[in-house]
């Protein structure tokens, strides 16, 4: 962007986000670092363009309550973006701007902003930690070049930590780790470092360690530079660098050797010097760490306490030093939508324009905001682009840089930027934008399957149309939300990632759109599937009404999918013209439509393969509709013969409780059909990792509070679908039939 420039500097100072900071010329001699905050508007500080190698696009990812938003708030403070630090408890943090976020003290929607540190421009996305909003993490990681994974020094690696780690693996996002909350009771840096190895399988090593934990924590030992950093004031503005005390020297050298050994395993330069017992300099180590991080082979681990304002400046140093720029990650690849050939785009402002819309949000003043990552080329305000996903042309009315929920208009944006667009008409989340004469279609992000459903209807008939318009806006924003209309009961069914997800949607309808609704209780999103292969299943549709008739006849084989999660696979094996080609697509459409409502209780059918093997047609009476209806009849018959069964979502749940209550907790979980996966301990607390059906976990928060006097915590996330036990099936069918009957009455 043309507005991004740096101020002049003298040899006595270096700029930390626009705040002059005294330089320590020798680590042997104690010096005092003192921030003299100058909170001018960032754009007025800039006098030189930031080169692409100095741009960092990062996300803050973690389990809920690990301290992501607090860490981001401190980053913005030390970088000079804000002059006063807010707290999650007070509901006044910069990134949690929604009313629901401020009231509940959790992050619901990913928010992004920009700051500057050590001559680096850092675009930051603060993501939610709650499993119900995992789609926000998914789409953020799709477009990021690097990430900071935050861990709680007390709770360690939790279930959602593992989930976001796997998401980062899926998109090959390089990471650094920050062990937070070292001031908390029970904090243990070494234990969490061990869990990073054991539970995440990371090639990790500490590059810092704390002088102590809990209320004695006031300094950090820098292993790479061999220095001792003491925090002199409560705001963390004054940091004194001095020599490492004698009591920490042995541990520093031990951890430094471990760091070098782990780097030697992945870096030839370090390996040669290590084996030849040559001196390995600070510069050697830092370059090796960066190479290891960029190649996703190494995880440097830092530490601190964001709430107590300790360690965040060093985390920013690590972001600037070790995480990749857009030039360090592979260029984006996609397919040409016309030729279907794989193509790539050079990471250059002069390359043909390509970008991915990863999020859509509605602003009350400017309308829809299309959050976009630019992968190549330059985009100018007012220009026309091609939406390769929808195959339409779009005009860019405005380009804005987001600072949480505030916008700053810019004339143009270049490769590597994360911006928001205004004025698009047909575009949606996950769509690719590109140059009109250089088309490319970039792979969309993964969209998780919903696990909870509820019925929703407006309180007045006058609001019926308003409900439809409102739901369309939410569907544009949130790909993990599903909406369908039940023709039999005349009800709208919404499905999402959890109770809280749907609860927030209902709350936003009321606050943002003034729409009062009545909702049914949350229901499990059951599914059906085949259990055995059936062959030669016949489906016919024959009707005669005096004029032209209807004739469709198909023969199919159906079998369970070899791999779960593959959805519906349709294979055409018609040879010799038994069925004309123009009727094949309607047959597939009939199969997919029939799969929306299974034969047991009307739940969707998933993970099966249908092969069209035979059939016949009538030269006059056959039609697309006739074959579509014949295919529906064939699938229903196949499901009956193939002994279809219910599948239910299984949750991965982790409970952390004082030992005195763990027996009662496990007894309650057993009654909920839980399978105990692992029992362990964290300090004075006991942990239990279980697989539990979602149907048994509604309102569990109240149950566990009662069992443990409010002293236990738990987290859960969708894990997999599994067959429902036979004794539960009759209850599900009975409840479904009773519900349908009451709705009709």
C-alpha angle 676-680-683 in degrees, rounded to nearest 5: 150
Distance, in Å, from the CA atom of 563 to the CA atom of 606, rounded to the nearest integer, reads 11
- What the block records as the tokens of 205 is 């090593």
- What the block records as the tokens of 308 is 């107590």
Q: Once rounded to an integer, what is the mean pLDDT over residues 13-41?
A: 35
Look at residue 351 and tell me whether its pLDDT is greater than 90.
yes
Look at residue 621 and tell me whether its pLDDT is greater than 50.
yes
Look at residue 108 and tell me whether its pLDDT is greater than 70.
no
Q: Once rounded to an integer, what is the mean pLDDT over residues 226-241?
A: 89
The pLDDT of residue 17 is 38
Return the higher-pLDDT residue of 295 and 454: 295
Q: What percent of the chain has pLDDT over 70?
A: 87
Return the higher-pLDDT residue of 491 and 358: 358
Q: Once rounded to an integer, what is the mean pLDDT over residues 354-369?
A: 84
Q: Once rounded to an integer, what is the mean pLDDT over residues 310-321?
A: 94
Torsion sign, CA atoms 294, 298, 299, 300: negative
Whether the CB-CB separation of 61 and 177 falls below 8 Å is answered with no
- Alpha-helical (H) ranges within 83-214 are 99-104, 134-143, 159-170, 189-200
Look at residue 500 and tell me whether its pLDDT is greater than 90.
no
- What the block records as the tokens of 247 is 């009591």
User: Which range has the worst mean pLDDT, 19-23, 206-210, 275-279, 700-704?
Assistant: 19-23
Torsion sign, CA atoms 166, 171, 172, 175: negative
- The torsion region of residue 607 among left (phi > 0), alpha (psi -120 to 50) and beta comes to left
Closest CA to 195 of 689, 733, 614, 602: 689
Look at residue 21 and tell me whether its pLDDT is greater than 80.
no
The DSSP annotation for 559-581 comes to EE-SSTT--EEEEE---TTSS-G
Q: What is the pTM of this model?
A: 0.71
CB atoms within 10 A of CB 296: 17
Distance, in Å, from the CA atom of 732 to the CA atom of 723, rounded to the nearest integer, reads 13
The pLDDT of residue 106 is 62
Instruction: Summarize pLDDT for 396-419 with one digit per residue, the tens.
Output: 999 998 887 788 888 899 999 999
* Strand 354-363 with 482-486, pairing: unpaired
Closest CA to 61 of 160, 127, 158, 142: 127
Instruction: Summarize pLDDT for 437-464 with one digit per residue, the tens.
Output: 999 999 888 777 777 788 888 877 777 7
The pLDDT of residue 49 is 74
Distance, in Å, from the CA atom of 195 to the CA atom of 298, rounded to the nearest integer, reads 15
Instruction: Summarize pLDDT for 258-273 with one digit per residue, the tens.
Output: 999 999 999 999 999 8
Instruction: Summarize pLDDT for 191-228 with one digit per residue, the tens.
Output: 999 999 988 889 999 999 999 888 899 999 999 999 99
> Could you tell me the pLDDT band of residue 549, with boundaries at 50, 70 and 90?
confident
Distance, in Å, from the CA atom of 354 to the CA atom of 346, rounded to the nearest integer, reads 10
- Alpha-helical (H) ranges within 114-245 are 134-143, 159-170, 189-200
Return the higher-pLDDT residue of 356 and 601: 356
Q: For residue 620, count CB atoms less than 10 angstroms from its CB and return exposed for 0-12, middle for 13-18, buried for 19 or more.
A: exposed
Whether the CB-CB separation of 77 and 93 falls below 8 Å is answered with no
Beta strands in 346-423 (DSSP E): 354-363, 367-376, 378-380, 384-387, 392-395, 398-403, 406-410, 412-414, 418-422
Instruction: Summarize pLDDT for 136-167 with one digit per residue, the tens.
Output: 888 888 889 999 999 999 988 887 788 888 88
- What the block records as the tokens of 70 is 């607090």
Per-residue exposure over 527-552, b if at least 16 CB sit within 10 Å of its own CB, e if not: bbbbeeebeebebbbeeeeeeeebbb
């Amino acid at each position: 962007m043309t507005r991004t420039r740096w101020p002049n500097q003298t040899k006595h100072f270096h700029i930390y986000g626009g705040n002059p900071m005294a330089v320590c010329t020798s680590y042997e001699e104690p010096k005092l670092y003192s921030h003299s905050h100058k909170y001018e508007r960032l754009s007025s500080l800039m006098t030189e363009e930031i080169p692409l190698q100095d741009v960092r696009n990062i996300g803050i990812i973690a389990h809920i309550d690990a301290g992501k938003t607090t860490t981001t708030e401190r980053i913005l403070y030390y970088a000079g973006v804000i002059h006063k630090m807010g707290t999650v408890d007070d509901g006044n943090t910069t990134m949690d701007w929604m009313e629901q976020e401020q009231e509940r003290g959790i992050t619901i929607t990913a928010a992004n902003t920009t700051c500057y540190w050590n001559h680096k421009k850092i675009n930051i996305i603060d993501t939610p930690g709650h499993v119900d909003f995992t789609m926000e993490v998914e789409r953020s990681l799709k477009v990021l070049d690097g990430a900071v994974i935050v861990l709680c020094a007390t709770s360690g690696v939790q279930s959602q930590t593992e989930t976001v780690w796997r998401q980062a693996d899926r998109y090959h996002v390089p990471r650094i780790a920050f062990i937070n909350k070292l001031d908390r009771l029970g904090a243990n840096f070494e234990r969490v470092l061990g869990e990073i190895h054991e539970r995440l399988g990371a090639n990790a090593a500490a590059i810092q360690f704390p002088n102590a934990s809990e209320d004695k924590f006031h300094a950090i030992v820098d292993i790479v530079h061999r220095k001792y950093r003491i925090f002199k004031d409560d705001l963390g503005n004054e940091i004194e660098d001095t020599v490492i005390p004698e009591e920490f020297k042995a541990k520093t050298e031990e951890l430094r050797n471990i760091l070098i050994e782990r780097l030697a395993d992945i870096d030839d330069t370090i390996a040669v010097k290590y084996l030849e017992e040559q001196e390995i300099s600070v510069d050697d180590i830092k370059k090796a760490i960066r190479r290891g991080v960029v190649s996703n082979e190494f995880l440097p681990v830092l530490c601190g306490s964001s709430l107590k304002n300790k360690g965040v400046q060093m985390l920013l140093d690590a972001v600037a030093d070790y995480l990749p720029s857009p030039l360090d990650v592979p260029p984006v690849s996609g397919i040409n939508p016309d030729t279907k050939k794989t193509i790539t785009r050079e990471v250059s402002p002069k390359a043909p324009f390509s970008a991915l819309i990863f999020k859509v949000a509605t602003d009350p003043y400017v309308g829809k905001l299309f959050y976009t990552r630019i992968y190549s080329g330059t985009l100018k305000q007012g220009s026309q682009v091609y939406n390769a996903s929808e195959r339409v042309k779009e005009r860019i009315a405005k380009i804005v840089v987001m600072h949480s929920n505030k916008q700053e208009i810019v004339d143009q944006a270049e490769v590597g930027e994360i911006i928001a667009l205004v004025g698009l008409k047909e575009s949606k989340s996950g769509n690719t934008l590109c140059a009109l004469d250089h088309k490319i279609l970039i792979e969309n992000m993964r969209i998780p399957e919903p696990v909870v459903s509820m019925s929703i209807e407006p309180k007045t008939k006058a609001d019926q149309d308003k409900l439809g318009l409102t739901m369309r806006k939410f569907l544009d924003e949130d790909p993990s939300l599903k909406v369908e209309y039940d023709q039999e009961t005349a009800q709208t069914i919404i499905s999402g990632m959890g109770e809280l997800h749907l609860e927030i949607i209902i709350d936003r309808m009321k606050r943002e759109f003034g729409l009062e609704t009545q909702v049914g209780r949350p229901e499990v999103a059951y599914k059906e599937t085949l259990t055995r292969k059936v062959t030669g299943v016949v489906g016919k549709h024959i009707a005669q009404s005096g004029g032209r008739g209807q004739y469709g006849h198909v023969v199919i084989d159906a079998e369970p999918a070899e791999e779960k999660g593959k959805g519906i696979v349709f294979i055409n094996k018609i040879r010799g013209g038994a069925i004309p080609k123009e009727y094949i697509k309607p047959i597939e459409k009939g199969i997919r439509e029939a799969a929306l409502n299974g034969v047991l209780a009307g739940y969707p059918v998933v993970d099966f393969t249908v092969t069209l093997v035979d059939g016949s047609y009538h030269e006059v009476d056959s039609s697309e509709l006739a074959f579509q209806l014949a295919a529906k009849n064939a699938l229903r018959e196949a499901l009956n013969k193939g002994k279809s069964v219910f599948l239910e979502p299984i949750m991965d749940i982790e409970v952390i409780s004082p030992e005195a209550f763990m027996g009662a907790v496990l007894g309650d979980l057993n009654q909920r059909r839980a399978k105990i996966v692992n029992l362990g301990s964290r300090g004075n607390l006991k942990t239990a990792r279980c697989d539990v059906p979602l149907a048994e976990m509604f309102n569990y928060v109240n149950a566990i509070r009662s069992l443990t006097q409010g002293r236990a915590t738990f987290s859960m996330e969708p894990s997999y679908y599994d067959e429902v036990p036979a004794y539960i099936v009759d209850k599900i069918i009975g409840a479904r039939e009773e519900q349908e009957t009451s709705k009709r009455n």
